[in-house]
A = this chain, B = another copy of it.
Amino acid sequence: MPEPARKTRQREAIRDAIAAAKAPVGPREILESAAGGAQGLGLATVYRTLKLLVQAGEILTVDIPGESPRYELAGKGHHHHFLCKACDKVYELDGCCGHFDELTPKGFEVTSHDLTLFGHCANCVKKTRTSSGARDSAPKVHKHALKH
């Protein structure tokens, strides 16, 4: 049987990078931010470690429609996320309006759910109002997202 999880420089660095971030981070950012703790760190290792940490329940996948996955520390309690369409930043939201069972067809069993709010964060709302009546600062085109 596979004795689980060895403790290595790179794993520490990756976990730390995620813990240090104030918002969910993607593999690329993790690589860069963890480079300090582990020079020569490879992207493949980041992915492998992320998979391990998710399976171990230490981190959670934050999957926002139209974006590639980010990761955050587990154990912060149930919450959801807000994506600012202007600056592309992700914010954590407290709480959850969770009576979804009402929406669920008979015979179905709901085991989990995922909620994301989109809009403009306080910063961007302010900016938009100050700088001329300009609409959305930029059209914001996502590479893979055909999202409207």
- A interface residue numbers (CB < 8 A to B): 47, 50-51, 54-55, 57, 60-61, 63, 65-66, 69, 71, 80, 82, 85, 91, 93-100, 102-122, 125-126, 144-148
Contacts and interface: CB of A to CB of B under 8 A. Distances in A.
B146 A51 contact: yes
A49 B51 CA distance: 35
Contact of A117 (B63, B65, B100, B106): B100
A50 B148 CA distance: 11
Nearest to A56: B148
Contact of A109 (B63, B95, B119, B145): B119
A56 B122 CA distance: 30
A148 B61 contact: yes
Contact of A119 (B102, B108, B121): B108
A116 B112 CA distance: 9
Contact of A114 (B85, B100, B116): B116
Of the candidates A65, A82, A106, A126, the one having the most CB atoms from chain B within 10 angstroms of its own CB is A65
